[in-house]
Structure 1
């Protein structure tokens, strides 16, 4: 699975780094990443001088991550819920991973990892087929196995709501202030087989049995053109830890 994540998941653009740093308003020297996976986001920050501590509960993911990141990255095998603050960070972020964390005490735990005034960032978004006709063909091919392959909002926020999760939770939290939501528009082109490879890393498909996954991927690939255009917008949520009183 780690090899599939590395091969099929896209990385993150420099524009994302600039957005987070612009919000921070000052240089960020140390950051903690939650659910780092194979380090797609780790590279974005570490290659620009941030000392990143990348955490993930899956050792295979961290082993793959180490093959691709610079020396200023430390790794810790741990789920978010098992992290114990031994120090605090100027930035804590999660790249398409926050929905895996437990909602219980999520924001007080997050705040405990941050320096007062430190920044929390969450970013990610689904890859959606840009052509409505291709999108519908894939929906029909997938329907016997999945009604939808997108991650539902963990707090039930409707998809057309102006503020999306986790911004909704952050705004309700007493631990964070200055909650902002931004969207980085992005378009990608990839082969049909690469797109199906990407689907093999999506949680909705991972929850199917292996025979079901094989069947649904075969059905999807048959209705895809040779190459597909994707809307791959990145939704970014930023917030600042409130000062301790």
Structure 2
């Protein structure tokens, strides 16, 4: 696991408090072709996707490598089986699930290893889906926030205009496992998160690129974001809704 991927544990409580959940319609679409209700939430973090999966009727098992994130998931969803493990070493038997989903996590997986593992635990015809919450930078103030924030806080996977290109094939099972999956499909579903200027800054502070910054650089980045939000009509006072979408990349085990 790289430095960025392993950075979240130190901010597990903030991640649980500030990161958005996922659009229910996106989760329903991700699971709509799965042959059954058994779902593995892989790289589940603090359980942001887990709750939406449960609401959609899934029988969820969660797997997460970071102990602090896993402990937070246990507190949030005490009835969900939550196991230590990773995409490269999934602690489940062959054919154990009908779908494997990953919320803002698929890009961290080493698919040369994880691809065969995911194929192993999926039932025939099972679904692999990655979900990403992306900011709708077709909205002027969101585009401006992206320019001020820099790619560490709002990167290519984090905006509507670039997430499809950033995720189209880069994170699907590769090498010998590619023949085990069909052609990928992508779709987006409207979403939003109610924030204040302070809580949006706190949300962006949980991004991996920001978490690994030297302290002075991190404070400078967050200070620029605060300044932008306080000087922008839509975000200067009170609560507002951050316009978002949940993007889904879906493929099927053959």
Please indicate the TM-score interval, normalised by the length of the shorter structure: 0.7 to 0.9
Cα contact 2:111–2:173 (8 A) shared by 1: no
Which deviates more, 116-125 or 163-172? 163-172
| Counterparts of 2:72 and 2:134, CA distance in 1 | 23
How far does residue 179 in structure 1 lie from its aligned partner after superposition? 2.5
Match of 1:220 among 216, 225, 230: 225
Which deviates more, 51-60 or 191-200? 51-60
Which deviates more, 116-125 or 100-109? 100-109
Q: Does 1:180 align with 2:185?
A: yes
Aligned length, in residue pairs: 230
Cα contact 2:152–2:210 (8 A) shared by 1: no
Determine the structure 1 residue equivalent to 2:233: none
| Counterparts of 1:86 and 1:134, CA distance in 2 | 44
Match of 1:150 among 151, 154, 178: 154
How far does residue 68 in structure 1 lie from its aligned partner after superposition? 1.9
Other structure's SS at 2:45 match: coil
Calculate the TM-score normalised by the size of structure 1.
0.81
Calculate the TM-score normalised by the size of structure 2.
0.78
Match of 1:19 among 29, 33, 37: 29
Q: Does 1:82 align with 2:92?
A: no
Match of 1:7 among 17, 24, 43: 17
Q: Deviations over 1:89-129 (max 9, x none)?
A: 11111011111111323322221121111111111133356
Structure 2: gaps spanning 5 or more residues: 1-10, 230-235
Which deviates more, 81-90 or 57-66? 81-90
| Structure with a larger share of its residues in helix | 2
Cα RMSD after superposing both structures: 2.7
